[in-house]
């Protein structure tokens, strides 16, 4: 009997009871605006900023309306103006080049490796084209940050990190977002903490964060921020920085604070699900798993694998047959943008020269969410279904009439053994 998965890839867990209780208290008070406080009351948004800054070891934090707003604010605070070129990943999601375009910048795309991280060789060749790199830790894959920062510092390139998929992750024990001048996070529904929409911006740069707070729409109420630079830093900034309102409200902040307290537990749970899928797909002919270096402490709320050098028709067929069995896969390599997936040549507002090596990799990227509503048994079933459909496709004639090799597609960076469980460790935390 053919197995089928009946779960939902978009169903998140409910908001924890503590978050619901805190949200109810905010609604009963009527004081949802972050600056609408009574007496010595501290706003939920200010407490969220203070707590997240402490959690990641940052001096300053700002809660905003979305991860995209966090990125545009960071770009503006770094002085990016109309016509300025900004480096960014070719493998990312539309809000990243969208943030660059929103401030009038021009994206300069940098290639991707089979490890799904920015190609440092391509970056080195393009570093002289811009003064800012908006680095996307796309789908939770972190590059060699020591090497990247050494390159960018030497070239005088400012780094802004897009950490929408890496809240709770680290490289060599340093949390994502703490390497560059700014770290930008999302709290949208499918991220590691859920307020529907929302974002967080961190920095150790006092003047940069003061500009970000003014940009967010603080008016002259910046002293109500607790994870903020001292008032004297705002002395001249307040006269020259426009208000581009994008504040987070107290309701969303109240929902998020209890979730941040449980973040490490949730990260461990995601990685346990990822390990089951990864092990279930190991040694599948034609399928390339993505290696995770030991320096990377990742949070795997999604899973990616590669179908390298497959024809478009064959990839589409595998995705359709998995879908028929209840497994929702997303294909980043499709010629037309679909749903959440698109690639750099889809964004006509940001024209780019072709990158053949990256195009080959992008064409083969298959992506799958791993919501915490899944169990490890669910993930084992999902892996069996994908393995079955990919394996069946190997010996089928493709659109050129030839048959697939059962070994050539798993060379290179593919893992041909069960994943090393040490890859699922966090600094000073237990492994899962």
Number of H helices, E strands in the chain: 13, 14
Instruction: Please report the domains of the chain, with CATH numbers, ordered by start residue.
Output: 17-261 (3.40.640.10), 263-424 (3.90.1150.10)
Q: What is the pLDDT of residue 338?
A: 85
Q: What is the pLDDT of residue 334?
A: 83
Statement: the pTM of the whole predicted model exceeds 0.85: yes
Q: What is the pLDDT of residue 337?
A: 84
Maximum Cα–Cα distance across the chain: 76
Q: What is the pLDDT of residue 397?
A: 58
Q: Can you say how many angstroms the Cα of residue 139 is from the centroid of all Cα atoms in its chain?
A: 5
Q: What is the pLDDT of residue 419?
A: 36
The angle that helices 250-261 and 263-281 make with each other, rounded to 10 degrees, is: 70
> Could you identify the residue written with the tokens 């990312």?
92
Q: What is the pLDDT of residue 339?
A: 84
Q: What is the pLDDT of residue 398?
A: 53
What is residue 261's DSSP assignment? H
* Rounded mean pLDDT for each run of 10 residues along the chain, 432 residues in total: 93 97 97 96 98 98 98 98 97 96 97 98 98 98 98 98 98 98 97 98 98 97 96 96 97 98 98 98 97 97 97 95 97 84 87 92 96 98 97 66 37 38 37 37
Summarised one tens digit per residue, pLDDT across range 128-178 is: 999 999 999 999 999 999 999 999 999 999 999 999 999 999 999 999 999
């Amino acid at each position: 009997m053919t197995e089928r998965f009946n779960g939902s890839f978009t169903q998140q867990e409910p908001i924890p009871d503590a978050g619901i209780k805190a949200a109810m208290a905010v609604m009963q008070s009527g004081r949802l605006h972050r600056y609408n406080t009574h007496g010595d009351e501290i706003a939920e948004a200010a407490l969220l900023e203070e707590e997240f800054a402490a959690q990641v070891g940052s001096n300053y934090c700002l809660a905003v309306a979305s991860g995209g707003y966090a990125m545009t604010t960071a770009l503006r605070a770094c002085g990016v103006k109309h016509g300025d070129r900004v480096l960014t990943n070719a493998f990312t999601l539309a809000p990243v080049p969208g943030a660059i375009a929103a401030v009038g910048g021009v994206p300069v795309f940098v290639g991707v490796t089979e490890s799904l991280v920015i190609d440092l060789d391509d970056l080195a060749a393009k570093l002289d084209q811009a003064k800012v790199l908006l680095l996307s830790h796309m789908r939770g894959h972190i590059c060699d940050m020591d090497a990247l920062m050494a390159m960018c510092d030497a070239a005088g390139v400012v780094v802004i990190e897009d950490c929408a998929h890496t809240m709770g992750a680290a490289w060599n024990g340093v949390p994502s977002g703490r390497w560059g001048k700014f770290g930008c996070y999302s709290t949208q529904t499918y991220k590691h903490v859920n307020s529907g929409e929302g974002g967080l911006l961190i920095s150790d740069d006092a003047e940069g964060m003061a500009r970000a707070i003014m940009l967010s729409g603080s008016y002259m109420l910046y002293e109500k921020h607790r994870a903020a630079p001292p008032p004297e830093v705002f002395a001249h900034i307040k006269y020259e920085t426009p208000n581009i309102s994008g504040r987070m409200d107290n309701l969303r902040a109240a929902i998020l604070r209890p979730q941040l307290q449980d973040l490490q537990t949730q990260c461990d749970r995601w990685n346990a699900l990822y390990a089951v899928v990864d092990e279930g797909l190991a040694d599948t002919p034609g399928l390339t798993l993505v290696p995770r270096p030991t320096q990377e402490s990742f949070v795997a709320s999604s899973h990616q694998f590669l179908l390298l050098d497959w024809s478009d028709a064959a990839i589409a067929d595998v995705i359709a047959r998995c879908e028929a069995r209840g497994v929702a896969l997303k294909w980043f390599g499709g010629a037309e943008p679909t749903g959440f997936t698109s690639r750099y040549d889809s964004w006509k507002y940001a024209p780019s020269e072709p990158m053949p090596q990256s195009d080959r990799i992008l064409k083969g990227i298959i992506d799958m969410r791993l919501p915490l509503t899944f169990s490890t048994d669910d993930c084992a079933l999902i892996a069996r279904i994908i393995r079955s459909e990919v394996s069946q496709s190997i010996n089928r004639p493709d659109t050129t009439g030839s048959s697939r090799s059962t070994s050539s597609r798993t060379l290179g960076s593919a893992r041909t053994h069960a994943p090393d469980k040490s890859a699922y460790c966090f600094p000073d935390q237990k492994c899962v």
